[in-house]
């Protein structure tokens, strides 16, 4: 019975975590627009009957989410195509300069812009190095991802060379801790970031494969 339970848990846990993350992303993306789209669909009176176990209210909400996701996808693709045009690209650069001059707004905008560029730029080395660091105390280690060197003022404050390390939580790696460690405390691990995330999400069940040693 125990073996059957563990086998079922190995199958269901990744599925449950995947569904939970997808539902969070769907709600996060559609929540700002759900009221407007739901109101439009309700006025059209197209979904005024029960469907299986769904009430008309549920039908309107779920249909609204599907419509919003489709529109967001189309808008994202169109924006990507438009920004390739030289004239439109120049206008975007002008708008970018204007936004950077607006107090408060420029802080949020620039921070978000820097994060997106860092995450998706192939030239950056952020989150490419897997390390082991002591946490939450000496003698106990966790898997971490090096983001980049810590801010210079932080290193100067402790008179040491600090490195920013992201410590993802398990089984949901979208949250975690950003800690600054002295460089000498980092233990570099010969592991791909994807394998490290799998190890964290699986709660240590999926062990990264050992790379074959290269003959001298």
pTM, 2 dp: 0.49
Predicted local distance difference test score (pLDDT) of residue 215:
44
Output b/e per residue, 112-124; b: 16+ Cβ within 10 A.
eeeeeeeeeeeee
pLDDT at 134: 95
CB-CB contact of 143 with 189 (8 Å):
yes
Q: How many of the other CB atoms lie within 10 Å of CB of 170? A: 17
Per-residue pLDDT at 8: 80
pLDDT of residue 95: 81
- Mean pLDDT split into 10-residue runs, the chain, 216 residues: 76 83 87 85 71 72 88 88 72 80 79 65 70 93 92 93 93 87 94 89 84 48
Residue 211: which residues within 8 A CB-CB, separation 6 or more? 190
**Residue 30 vs residues 67, 79, 93, 106, 200: alpha-carbon distances, Å:** 9, 18, 28, 25, 28
């Amino acid at each position: 019975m125990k073996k059957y339970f563990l086998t079922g848990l190995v199958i269901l846990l990744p599925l449950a975590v995947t569904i939970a993350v997808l539902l969070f992303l769907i709600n996060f993306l559609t929540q700002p627009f759900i009221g407007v789209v739901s109101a439009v669909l309700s006025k059209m009176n197209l979904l005024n009957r029960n469907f299986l176990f769904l009430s008309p209210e549920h039908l309107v909400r779920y249909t609204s989410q599907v419509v919003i996701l489709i529109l967001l996808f189309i808008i994202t693709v169109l924006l990507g195509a438009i920004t390739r045009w030289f004239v439109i690209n120049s206008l975007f650069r002008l708008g970018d300069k204007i936004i950077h001059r607006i107090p408060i707004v420029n802080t949020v905008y620039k921070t978000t812009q820097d994060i997106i560029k860092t995450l998706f730029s192939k030239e950056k080395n952020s989150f490419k190095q897997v390390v082991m660091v002591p946490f939450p105390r000496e003698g106990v280690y966790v898997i971490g991802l090096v983001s980049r060197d810590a801010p210079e003022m932080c290193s100067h404050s402790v008179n040491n060379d600090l490195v920013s390390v992201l410590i993802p939580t398990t089984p949901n790696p979208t949250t975690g801790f950003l800690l600054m460690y002295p460089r000498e405390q980092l233990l570099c691990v010969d592991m791909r970031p994807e394998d490290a995330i799998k190890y964290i999400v699986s709660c240590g069940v999926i062990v990264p494969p050992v790379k074959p040693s290269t003959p001298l």
